[in-house]
Amino acid sequence: MKAFLNRRYHFSASHRLHAESLTDEQNRNTFGKCNNPFGHGHNYIATVRLSGPVDARTGMVANLADLDRFATDNLLGRYHLVNLNTLPEFEQVVPTTENLAIEVHRIFGGFTDAFLESVDVEETPNNSFTYVTPSI
């Protein structure tokens, strides 16, 4: 019996949307107020979706305690209460929530107790972005 496990993690961070490859005017036209030099921020919610067989003895897809420990070390320790633009992964890449979802997906690729199906990152209660593990 295969099941899906969905787990949400909360972190607060700031970002500024600005692309080096665009002119100042293009940046303002593309990103609007999100391009202001001092940035702004969000309460992000990352939802990690894993799948796998339900272990017949434990009744679990993966142990949430292990997943939470992994998330504390690798997700929250990295993204909670920081400015995303100061991180190496967003030096060349605009820290939109699309790109943030891809990075969070890359992080949870390191959790190998179950198959990583997808990562969704909610930027505000009204918008979110999802990155699905590509099928080979």
Residues 72-131 touching a second copy, rule: CB under 8 A, are 80-83, 85-86, 93-96, 98-99, 101-102, 120, 124-131
User: If DSSP codes are grouped into helix, strand and coil, which group holds residue 6?
Assistant: strand
Binding of a second copy at residue 132 (CB under 8 A)?
yes
Sign (positive or negative) of CA dihedral 71, 77, 83, 84: negative
Report the residue number, 64 or 110, with the smaller CB distance to a second copy. 64
Q: Among residues 14, 74, 113, 133, which is the contact residue for a second copy, using CB under 8 A?
A: 14
Contacts of 45 (CB under 8 A, 6+ apart): 8, 9, 10, 121, 122, 128
Q: CB–CB of 62/32 below 8 Å?
A: no
Residues near a second copy, by CB under 8 A: 1-10, 12-15, 17, 19, 21-22, 30-34, 36, 38-43, 54, 57-61, 63-65, 80-83, 85-86, 93-96, 98-99, 101-102, 120, 124-132, 134
